[in-house]
């Protein structure tokens, strides 16, 4: 992440924060036995983290070319 631009760092940081909040809300729903809602929120957070990893690699490849 050292070679990322400031804009790219903000995108990664705020995306991580948003996905962590989504996972936290899903965990709270799980603790209150709203299982279906918890599964949906935690699944979205997991897919979001996977998408963020792909975005990270795209940023790295872009920065190596430029």
Q: At how many degrees (to 10) do helices 35-65 and 6-31 cross?
A: 170
Q: Give the closest residue to 25 by CA, choosing from 43, 50, 13, 47.
A: 43
Residue 45 burial (CB < 10 Å; 0-12/13-18/19+)?
buried
Distance between CA 26 and CA 31 in Å, rounded? 9
pTM of the entire predicted model: 0.85
Q: Which sequence spans correspond to the domains of the chain?
A: 19-65
Q: What is the pLDDT of residues 2-52, one digit of tens each?
A: 788 999 999 999 999 999 999 999 999 999 999 999 999 999 999 999 999
Structure tokens at 24: 């936290």
What pLDDT is attached to residue 21? 98
């Amino acid at each position: 992440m050292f070679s990322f631009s400031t804009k790219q760092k903000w995108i990664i940081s705020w995306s991580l924060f948003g996905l962590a909040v989504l996972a936290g809300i899903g965990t709270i729903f799980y603790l209150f036995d709203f299982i279906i809602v918890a599964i949906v929120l935690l699944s979205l957070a997991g897919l979001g983290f996977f998408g963020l990893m792909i975005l990270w690699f795209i940023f790295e490849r872009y920065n190596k070319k430029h």
